[in-house]
């Protein structure tokens, strides 16, 4: 695993113990940056927030090997990272090896998604084995994707029914919570903690500065700026957006549409060609780091999330990045955007309905001064779910499981990630 990293860890642990401040050791199993993955970004922000509210948390990450296989220290989050398993569920046996090397965990916290570990229960069996062998005191799973009985992947239901072997299962939404209850998970094992929100630090920047940072010129912008950020997949709803723009009949001088993100499904490209013919269109076909997305959202007049329905329950990390930007957000009434539907229902439309999307987009453009104050309920929710608040709820949970008192220093929200970190 790298002797240099191991020596540094031993020295750090001895120092913490001598000072009497080592309170809890948390080991996450998750994808991790620079892997291009929403769960990777989620885990990093959670760790950075945990470290910002308590010095008594020691954090390790057993990560995917998407960016190499050598241990390293993440100075931003304050975590030691051990890349050992392959995305999809292979080489998971390395989890036990790392736990043994670092001396075990108080909390073994798995950030679970089927894309990371496959549809089997190997990761669950490994964590239970770690607990039985004394390598972990308590097991926590955050289930980012909950499948329901109408899923096409029936193995997921079998996996979810076995989650009672965990000490706690964290979910992000009411839909996920009650679906797991219906599948037989003991209610007191389920903890609902919303996805964290980062308030956009670029909101005070002048438009000229944002355009310059993003490599755009004012001459390229015409009319209100509508942004569709994030990974481009089939459920992004770009086909619905194309049809709505045809109905809307706004020209290239009336509206600027910016689509920015890494393409995960090449079939979406045909819809982008159609959008380009209808409005002033800017397309960035690449992965955007958190800073770029935040700058883009700060530049936007409207953020658009026209998602399609899928056969499972999750929440949108992109929605939380967008909420913190305090801009009008138009979305669809799908489980992924349930928080938008709860707090700003008038700006949601039925999925697969281009006519409704065209109507709401036209209404927002014409009534912008009314829409912004209407969004205050969602903005309030963004403040309540800031990352340091959600980290505090995680820390309270860990301490409750370990029956320890929480030691918290003055809260300082984590700084924004920069591209060099």
Q: How far apart are CA 279 and CA 359, in angstroms?
A: 16
Reported confidence tier of residue 3, pLDDT bands at 50, 70, 90: low
Instruction: Tell me the CA distances in angstroms from 314 to 7, 34, 47, 114, 320, one per residue in order.
Output: 40, 23, 21, 12, 13
Q: What pLDDT was estimated at residue 1?
A: 47
The tens digit of pLDDT for each residue in 218-273 reads 988 999 999 999 999 889 999 999 999 999 988 888 999 999 999 988 888 889 99
Structure confidence by residue, pLDDT tens digits, 135-146: 999 999 999 999
Average pLDDT, rounded, for the chain = 90
The reported pLDDT for the residue numbered 268 is: 87
pTM of the model: 0.89
Q: Residue 406 pLDDT > 80, yes or no?
A: no
pLDDT > 80? residue 210: yes
Q: What is the pLDDT of residues 263-293, one digit of tens each?
A: 988 888 889 999 999 999 999 988 888 889 9
Would you call 90 helix, strand, or coil by DSSP?
A: strand
Coil, strand, or helix at residue 195? coil
State the pLDDT at residue 409.
Answer: 54
Residue 160 has pLDDT above 70, yes or no: yes
What pLDDT digit, counting tens, does each position of 293-320 carry? 999 999 999 999 999 989 899 999 999 9
Q: In which band, very low, low, confident or very high, does the pLDDT at 411 lie, cut at 50, 70 and 90?
A: very low
Residues 6+ apart with CB under 8 A from 221: 211, 256, 280
Residue 356 to residue 79: CA distance in whole angstroms? 46
**pLDDT band with cut points at 50, 70 and 90 for residue 405:** low
Model confidence at 418, pLDDT cuts 50, 70, 90, reads very low
pLDDT at 16: 45
| Position 410 pLDDT exceeds 90 | no
pLDDT digits (tens, 9 = 90+) for 372-383: 999 999 999 999
Neighbour tally for 16: CB within 10 Å = 16
Q: Find the mean pLDDT for residues 159-176.
A: 97
Give the pLDDT confidence score for residue 90 in this predicted structure: 84
Average pLDDT over residues 387-392: 97
For residue 200, the model assigns a pLDDT of 94
Q: 129 near 49, Cβ under 8 Å? A: no
pLDDT value for 21: 45
Contacts by 99-104, CB closer than 8 A, 24 or more apart: 99/27, 99/62, 99/130, 99/135, 99/136, 100/135, 101/1, 101/6, 102/9, 102/27, 102/60, 103/13, 104/25, 104/130, 104/134, 104/135, 104/136, 104/137
Do residues 345 and 327 lie in contact, with contact meaning Cβ atoms separated by under 8 Å? Answer: no
Q: What is the pLDDT of residue 8?
A: 54
Rg (CA), the chain: 22
How many helices (H) does the chain have, and how many strands (E)? 17, 16
All structural domains of the chain, each given as residue ranges with its CATH number in brackets, are 3-196+386-402 (3.40.50.2000), 207-382 (3.40.50.2000)
Q: What is the mean pLDDT of residues 24-32?
A: 97
Q: Exposure of 312 by Cβ count < 10 A (0-12 exposed, 13-18 middle, 19+ buried)?
A: buried
Given this model, what pLDDT does residue 18 score?
43
β-strands 136-143, 105-112 pairing: parallel
- Does 414 have pLDDT greater than 70? no
Report the pLDDT value the prediction gives residue 55, as an integer from 0 to 100: 86
Q: Is the pLDDT of residue 407 over 70?
A: no
Span 117-132, average pLDDT: 96
Residue 11 pLDDT level (bands cut at 50, 70, 90): low
How does residue 5 score in pLDDT terms, banded at 50, 70 and 90? low
């Amino acid at each position: 695993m790298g002797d240099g990293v191991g020596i540094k860890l031993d020295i750090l642990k001895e120092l913490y113990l001598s000072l009497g401040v080592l309170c809890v050791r948390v080991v996450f199993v998750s994808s991790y940056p620079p892997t291009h993955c929403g769960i990777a970004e989620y885990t990093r922000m959670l760790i950075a927030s945990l470290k910002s509210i308590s010095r008594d948390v020691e954090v390790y990450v057993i990560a995917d090997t998407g960016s190499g296989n050598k241990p390293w220290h993440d100075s931003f989050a304050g975590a030691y990272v051990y890349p050992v398993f392959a995305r999809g569920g292979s080489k998971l046996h390395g989890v036990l090896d790392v736990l043994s090397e670092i001396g075990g965990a108080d909390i073994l916290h798995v950030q679970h998604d089927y894309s990371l570990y496959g549809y089997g229960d190997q990761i669950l069996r490994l964590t239970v084995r770690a607990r039985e062998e004394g390598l972990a005191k308590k097991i926590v799973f955050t289930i980012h994707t909950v499948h329901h009985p109408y899923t096409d992947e029936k193995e997921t239901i079998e996996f979810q029914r076995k989650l009672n072997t965990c000490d706690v299962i964290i979910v992000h939404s009411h839909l996920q919570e009650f679906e797991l209850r219906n599948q037989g998970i003991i209610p007191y094992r389920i903890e609902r903690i919303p996805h964290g929100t980062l308030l956009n630090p670029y909101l005070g920047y002048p438009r000229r500065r944002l355009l310059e940072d993003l490599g755009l010129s004012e001459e390229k912008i015409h009319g209100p700026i509508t942004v569709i950020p994030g990974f481009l997949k089939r459920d992004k709803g770009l086909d619905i957006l194309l049809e709505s723009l045809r109905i809307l009949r706004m020209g290239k001088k009336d509206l600027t549409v910016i689509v920015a993100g890494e393409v995960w499904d090449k079939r979406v490209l045909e819809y982008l060609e159609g959008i380009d013919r209808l409005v002033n269109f800017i397309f960035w076909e690449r992965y955007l780091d958190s800073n770029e997305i935040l700058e883009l959202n700060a530049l936007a007049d409207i953020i658009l999330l026209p998602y399609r329905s899928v056969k499972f329950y999750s929440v949108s990390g992109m929605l939380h990045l967008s909420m913190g930007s305090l801009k009008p957000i138009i979305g669809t009434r799908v489980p992924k955007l349930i928080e938008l539907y709860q707090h700003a229902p008038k700006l949601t439309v039925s999925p697969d309905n281009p006519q409704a999307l065209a109507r709401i987009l036209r209404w927002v453009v014409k009534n912008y001064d009314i829409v912004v104050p209407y969004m205050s309920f969602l903005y309030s929710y963004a403040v309540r779910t800031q990352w340091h608040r959600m980290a505090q709820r995680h820390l309270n949970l860990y301490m409750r499981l370990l029956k320890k008192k929480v030691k918290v220093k003055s809260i300082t929200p984590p700084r924004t990630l920069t591209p060099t970190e």
